[in-house]
Amino acid sequence: MKYIQGVIILLVLSVFCVGGLVADNHGTGEVLRIAWAEWPPADYLQELSKDFTKKTGIGVEIVQIPWPNFQEKVSISFSGRSELYDIVIGDSQWLGVNSKGGHYIKLTDWIDRNIEVSEIYGPAMTAFAEYPKGSSEYWALPAEVDANGYVYRTDLFEDSAEQKAFQDKYGYQLEPPKTYKQLRDIAEFFTRPDQNLYGIATYFSKEYDGITMGFQQVMWSFGGSYGDPKTYKVDGYLNSEDSLKALEYYKGLVAFSPPDAPNYYWQETLEAYKSGKVAMAMDYFAFLPGAIDPKQNPAYHDKSGFFIAPAGPKGQYISIGGQGMSISSYSKKEDIAKQYMKWFIQKPVQEKWAKLGGFTPHKEVLQSDTFLNATPYNKAFAASFPYLRDFWAIPEYAELLEACQTNWSAAIVGAKDPKKALDAIVRKHEEIFEDAGYYNE
């Protein structure tokens, strides 16, 4: 018995020792560690980086962090001045806090000397690299440009019986919606709980930035906004009549969504589409490879069409996604990191990046036929570009986001009156701006 116990203890110790050695090997040598979210583009970048390793002999490890923990994990490592990550591919909203907080290295001079900015898609440079906006101070290089878009079931939309029934009921032709009114009608039309079919899957979740990214584009398109970016005045903007109408509209979509829709974020939305539960699904384009992959979506991969977020009564705006590539101030490999970023933004590398499935920020590549035809959704993605808008990118964005997430989530499930929810966000946002001293400037 004692012998067996001894063997077990020895085995456990060996596992720890081997684990420790493996971990040590990761920490030494010429390896660039890049932190990014856990999603398909991170896999593409890992693949792409093999070329960099071949050319320079420097290894590249893409550390993939699950989306809901992405921000906090990176922020905690920054707060501890950790050397864990050399490059961080962070959300556009992080620019404020990480530049002001001294966590990102300022790249303005380096970009001036080494990067041909005119080759990069202008709005991407502003959204993912510049802070404060319009200052020409750069803290990143755009890595992945993304936008919210829609995937729909062509087998349903192109079915003649469905088309006739839709025409009879709504008086116009069934086709991918161009306005939010049409989107609602189509969602209502396909909602058939007895067939386990629903009209739409979109972001309603309280997780991370889920419902905010789904709803804000509707709010903007209905005429609402987060506030005045110059005065930081929020009252009358975020809780305006237009914002209220938008929230009531978005809440109304819950009735045309599967029963567990209030928990839907990117993963659940895509799953609902792949399982044939919904006629349309909204997601960031970067998540859509799953919709056309025969392995992941055996039933509808070849029956999927794509369209851009529709227009509202007062315009057309779309939530921007994507991230910029920044160098951590605590990295000991700044030179290698710069070498990697310079390599990454070159046209041939960007072409390969686009071919692999990455959404390139390189203007020429972005507008090329090769890119537009690389996937069935790239055209819709490129068409979304003129309409992209972003959430606040100031250092207090996380608190502002939290207030939106909590109150909008409460409003769509009926736990809070939409007007009260908007007023509550206004109060919180004003409190945050006041506390941060924006009203004193």
Partner 1 sequence: METEPTEFNNPPRVGSFARTSTGLSDYQVKMVFIMPTMILLILMNIFPLLWSLVLSFYKYRVNRPDLPPEFIGFKNYVRLLSDPDMWGYFQTTAYFVVTAVSAQFLIGFGVALLLNREFRYKGLVTTLILLPMMLSPVIVGLFWRFLFKSDTSGLINYFLLPLLNFVQATPIPWTTDPKFAMVSIVIVDTWMWTPFMMLISLAGLSAIPKYLYEAADVDRASNWFKFRWITLPLVSPLLMIAILFRTMDAFKMFDIVYVLTREGGPGTATETVSMNLYKLAFRSFNTGKSCAMAYILLIVIVALSNIYVKYLNQLKREA
Q: Which is nearer to partner 1, 139 or 377 (CB)?
A: 139
Those residues whose C-beta lies under 8 Å from the C-beta of residue 218, and which sit 6 or more positions away, are 180, 246, 249, 250, 312
Those residues whose C-beta lies under 8 Å from the C-beta of residue 189, and which sit 6 or more positions away, are 165, 166, 169, 170, 174, 199
Least separation in angstroms between CB 403 and partner 1: 10
**87-91 vs 198-201, strand pairing mode:** unpaired
132 binds partner 1 per the rule CB under 8 A: no
* 353 backbone dihedrals φ, ψ, rounded to 5°: -60, -45
265 binds partner 1 per the rule CB under 8 A: yes
CA distances from 30 to 18, 27, 329, 386 (A): 21, 9, 18, 41
127 binds partner 1 per the rule CB under 8 A: no
CB 69 within 8 A of CB 367: no
* Sole binder of partner 1 in the list 141, 382, 412, 426 (CB under 8 A): 412
395 binds partner 1 per the rule CB under 8 A: yes
* Sole binder of partner 1 in the list 33, 153, 184, 206 (CB under 8 A): 206
Q: Which is nearer to partner 1, 141 or 421 (CB)?
A: 421
423 binds partner 1 per the rule CB under 8 A: no
Which positions from 157 to 196 touch partner 1 by CB under 8 A, shown as an x/- string?
A: ---------------------------------------x
Least separation in angstroms between CB 101 and partner 1: 5
76 binds partner 1 per the rule CB under 8 A: yes
* Sole binder of partner 1 in the list 402, 419, 423, 438 (CB under 8 A): 402
> How many CB atoms are closer than 10 A to CB 332?
10
Between CA 194 and CA 131 the distance in angstroms is 51
334 binds partner 1 per the rule CB under 8 A: no
298 binds partner 1 per the rule CB under 8 A: no
Those residues whose C-beta lies under 8 Å from the C-beta of residue 303, and which sit 6 or more positions away, are 153, 154, 155
Token pair for residue 384?
A: 């979304």
* Sole binder of partner 1 in the list 6, 102, 236, 315 (CB under 8 A): 102
* 145 backbone dihedrals φ, ψ, rounded to 5°: -100, 135
User: What are the residues binding partner 1 (CB under 8 A)?
Assistant: 68, 71-72, 75-76, 78-79, 97, 100-103, 196, 205-207, 258-263, 265, 395, 398-399, 402, 406-407, 409-416
